[in-house]
Structure 1
Amino acid sequence: MKLSTKGRYGLMAMYNLKENMGKGPIALKDIAKDENLSESYLEQLFTLLRKADLVKSIRGAGGGYVLARDPQNIAIGEIINALEGDISLSCCDLGKNVACGKQADCATRDILSKLQGKIEGVMESMTLADM
């Protein structure tokens, strides 16, 4: 399993906002420069982060982005899910509607379910403040 650039760059950008808290809105061009990322790609990511209520945009001169909540109240899992969607280790959705019909005989179901639970637990227990 590998986190895509969306998730990695989004975490980097959110970390940048956390580090600059209290300094006013941060422009995407400044985040892009600080983190050596594409500004146009960040625009796409910040659209997703804004829709998930993780960042707020401030318009006008001196505008940019700020965190929507205190970093202690933003779980890493929220950021990843906003950018990547729900992360699933299995082709079935582990307990909901199993498409393959092999739920009872699936050799990987139990281990993938345990791994899924551990990953979700870690992502929800760690916050932006922990970075």
Structure 2
Amino acid sequence: MIKLSKMTDYGVVVMTQIAQEPDRVVTGPDVALTTGLTVPTVAKLMRMLARGGLLLSHRGAHGGYSMARPASEIRISEIVAALEGPIALTSCVDGSDLSCVVEDSCPMRGGWNKINGAIRQALDDVRLSEMMPPMPYPHGTAKGAVRKARAAAAL
């Protein structure tokens, strides 16, 4: 089975959440409240996504993270690469940062490139905006959901 890690799945969740209000600076606790993920997990993902150039980090008292580009300009392959590294099914494909001990004598050498390229292309073809649910917050905006969650937690 070819499977992306939970962190990559969660990374797409975090990115779609932040993209709901692209001009807003959000914090890890805000995103954790609205996604159901833990604060440490969200914080780690946000740092990795910022290092990958997908989020912008804002320092200071009103700091946090915001979108680096619109969701329609972010490819799912970019999120996968930011969280997992190069997209490579096996260690012998172009772009892999792994090495294979039998690569020089392997009859499949280079044969996986076509399959790896097809998967990479499929991930390139899907934009973050296409992964976003049409109406994720029944109570209005993400900001409203955060306020409601904070109010419920205060009771």
Corresponding residue of 1:16: 17
- Give the distance between the partners of 2:26 and 2:68, measured in 1 at CA: 13
Matched residue of 1:65: which SS?
strand
Q: Deviation of residue 60 (structure 1)?
A: 3.0
**Would you say 1:41 and 2:44 are equivalent positions?**
no
Corresponding residue of 1:25: 25
Q: CA RMSD in A?
A: 2.2
Equivalences for 1:33-112 in 2 at 5 Å? 33-94=33-94, 99-100=101-102, 101-103=104-106, 105-106=107-108, 110=111, 112=112
Distance 1:130 1:95, change over 3 A: closer
**Which structure ranks higher in relative contact order (CA pairs < 8 Å, sequence separation ≥ 6)?**
1
Q: Conserved in 2, the CA contact under 8 Å of 1:52 and 1:82?
A: yes
Q: Conserved in 2, the CA contact under 8 Å of 1:92 and 1:99?
A: no
Distance 1:93 1:99, change over 3 A: farther
For normalisation by structure 1, the TM-score amounts to: 0.84
Aligned residue pair count: 127
| Structure 2: runs of 5 or more not aligned | 132-155
For normalisation by structure 2, the TM-score amounts to: 0.72
- Give the distance between the partners of 1:57 and 1:90, measured in 2 at CA: 33
